[in-house]
Structure 1
């Protein structure tokens, strides 16, 4: 479709515009980038409104999961949010890490950084910081973060292996990440694969699920776990912009699946002294309905 730098510029330009759009427009399209659908609401996103720390002004409905709900953030943790947008996941992470922790949001779209800083100043948070930068080369020192979260961002990055390597670099030994993203099973139709709007819409930039998990394993992460998975159904009135009637029928009857997955993994090394909830306990609480979910 385009070179890596051209794809990055497409995303920058699109998300600069998205920063000023109504949340309802973003929620009824693919990551705010495609035409809106009249068929469904919240195509990609989960509902954040009941999550502690939620700030409506920071919710642009651009995510595809609730990674902070699975991230096992402890009081005093340093948390980094990749592709922090208007700050929604950062403010939820701040609720979990408390006044003794620190939250760093990274985004390469200047209007998003500006919007996030305005939201943070309004809330009076002095331990939430937003940094302008590319997550393929994070403006963060080695071994900084206890926890990394991200919500529907890696699919927008041309070189996903670079981002995963950067996540490994900036996590402390024993640290972990919980990341929600879009992955594929099967091949997208060519009309979707090579469309810039669908790339910015978090679809055509997604890679195969097994390849995605393989990148994480190859980097050296351990205890790789899918914490949540859901099917993403793109409405017909959006797909019809890219596919004719025959192509639409073939796509819907084929074997291609588009999924939101929330993946957890740990950087090997010495654990911190303070106790952590075991991943198995976290999953059990989610499955029973008595915990964070």
Structure 2
């Protein structure tokens, strides 16, 4: 049986179609992604709960992946220290070929049977941690062997795959099987599969950060003040939360204490 991700596109003779016809058809296919994710939310919730429990007990989160999915996981992890003030090393990505080769399409590295576990082992992976494999096909050797080794060492595992009953899902304690159907261009899993992976990565990391207390209300109270835009956002956030009318006063407090959360805690402590 041909895996869903390799099945022929529902569209043909693409080279004969107009720009309008192509974009309309791609958009129709993209509409299917959110629905596919909705159908697996119970699986996603189980995975997120497992990640939160590990991190609350001093563990770490590791994504392992190759190709588009692996690169998307790197981008997700890169954002977290700035957006949520999360210390580096808690949320991690292991990309086939290395994260420093992000812009290189090292697809041949997905067949490496040893790199994933070697890299995890070098990071002193332990039973306190959780490892989530990302593979559209559900059979990527780099991911599969990494998860196999994790299970052999009693390390919790999860996965995000796009085919049912895959061998990678069989190695996951918390599998997420999001079935988006054949791709618009046959086998081009950077399309719907990649879109689903991006949406799931956003959903997982954002929910985990909220559960870890790194959001208050709907605000990024731990955001790093890395540029003028974020500084201005932080100042206005602090003004609203602390009921400070003077912009410069709020900015001075924010610069002094580094984050909105720290500034608010200091103000509350001084008030008490």
Do both proteins adopt the same fold according to a TM-score greater than 0.5, normalized to the shorter chain? no
Query: For the pair shown, which has the larger CA radius of gyration, 1 or 2?
Result: 2
Q: Give the TM-score band, short-chain normalised.
A: 0.3 to 0.5
TM-score of the superposed pair, with normalisation by structure 2: 0.35
TM-score of the superposed pair, with normalisation by structure 1: 0.33
Bigger fraction of residues in strand:
1
